[in-house]
């Protein structure tokens, strides 16, 4: 059984460019989460989907960040007009409904120059 | 104030027993504490969990926990530690039962196991 798959593993963008990160959750998992990890802030919750529906995006910077889950096998996190402070590892995780156990992907490391 | 607190780093020698500490704040009657290990590649691996209803300390292979509910403290114990156990260990609090969507994370403890 494949784990959570995230692509790309590494992405370098110039300031002001757009970055899109992809996540394929574990088949059968109904919940998908996006986190951001930096040395300074640690792990920060961004957003959460349940059965493809957005449930909580309270951690998302409102203006430039957006997340979608167009189907049960795929979620995207898009950052428009990237800024150096967006540089981080973006982690996607999935879980079964009602389970506190999250399965994480290996993360996508975004570097904004 | 930090809701989940961990020490920044610790180390040990191979084959020893390692204890990583975590303290948390909650007013919930039911909650879950989970431990994850982050590999140097960035991947987060689930290790073990303990619920507030568990009367016994949980164990999973070389991992076990020491749960001190009244102190709101939980320690992860790694037995027969190996260099491959090196990494960053995160403690996370999930409350209440249905809110699996948002874990409250500690800042992690970096563990170095020397051969």
Q: Is the pLDDT of residue A70 over 90?
A: yes
Contact (CB<8Å) A100/B49: yes
Q: Is the pLDDT of residue B16 over 90?
A: no
pLDDT band at B104 (very low <50, low <70, confident <90, very high): confident
In a domain, A95, yes or no: yes
Q: Is the pLDDT of residue A23 over 70?
A: yes
Q: Is B109 on the interface with A (CB under 8 A)?
A: no
CB A50 within 8 A of CB A67: no
What lies within 8 Å, CB to CB, of B89 at 6+ separation is B6, B20, B35, B36, B37, B38, B47, B76, B108, B109, B111
Q: Cα dihedral angle (B89, A74, A95, A90), rounded to 10 degrees?
A: 20
Instruction: Report the pLDDT averaged over residues B58-76.
Output: 94
Structural domain including B59 reads: 4-114
For the domain that residue A74 is a member of, what is the CATH number?
A: 2.60.40.10
How many domains does one find in chain B? 1
Structural domain including A43 reads: 8-103
A79 DSSP assignment:
E
In a domain, A112, yes or no: no
In a domain, A110, yes or no: no
Question: In chain B, pLDDT over 70 holds for what percent of residues?
Answer: 92
Facing A42 at nearest CB: one of B34, B42, B107: B107
In angstroms, the separation between the Cα of residue B42 and the nearest Cα of chain A is: 5
Flag the least confident range among A93-102, B25-34, B52-61: A93-102
For the domain that residue B56 is a member of, what is the CATH number?
A: 2.60.40.10
Residue A1: burial class (beta carbons within 10 Å; 0-12, 13-18, 19+): exposed
Which chain A residues contact residue B103 at CB under 8 A?
45, 100, 102
Instruction: Report the pLDDT averaged over residues B3-17.
Output: 84
Nearest CA in chain B to A41: B107
B106 DSSP assignment:
P
How many domains does one find in chain A? 1
């Amino acid at each position: 059984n494949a784990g959570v798959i995230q692509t790309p593993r590494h992405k370098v963008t110039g300031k002001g460019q757009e970055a899109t990160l992809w996540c394929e959750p574990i088949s059968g998992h109904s919940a998908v989460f996006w986190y951001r990890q930096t040395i300074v802030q640690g792990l920060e919750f961004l957003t959460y989907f349940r059965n493809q529906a957005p449930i909580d995006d309270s951690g998302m910077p409102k203006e430039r960040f957006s997340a979608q889950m167009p189907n049960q096998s795929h979620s995207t996190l898009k950052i428009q007009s990237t800024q150096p402070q967006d540089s981080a590892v973006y982690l996607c995780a999935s879980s079964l409904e009602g389970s506190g156990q999250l399965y994480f992907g290996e993360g996508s490391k975004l570097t904004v120059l | 104030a930090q809701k989940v607190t961990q020490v920044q780093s610790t180390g040990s020698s191979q084959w020893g027993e390692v204890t990583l500490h975590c303290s948390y704040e909650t007013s919930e009657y039911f909650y879950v504490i989970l431990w994850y290990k982050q590999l140097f590649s960035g991947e987060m691996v689930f290790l073990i969990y303990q619920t507030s209803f568990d009367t016994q300390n949980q164990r999973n292979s070389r991992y076990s926990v020491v749960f001190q509910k009244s102190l709101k403290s939980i320690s992860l114990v790694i037995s027969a530690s190996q260099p491959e156990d090196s990494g960053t260990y995160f403690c996370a609090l999930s409350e209440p039962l249905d809110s699996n969507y948002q874990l409250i994370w500690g800042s992690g403890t970096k563990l170095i196991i020397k051969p």
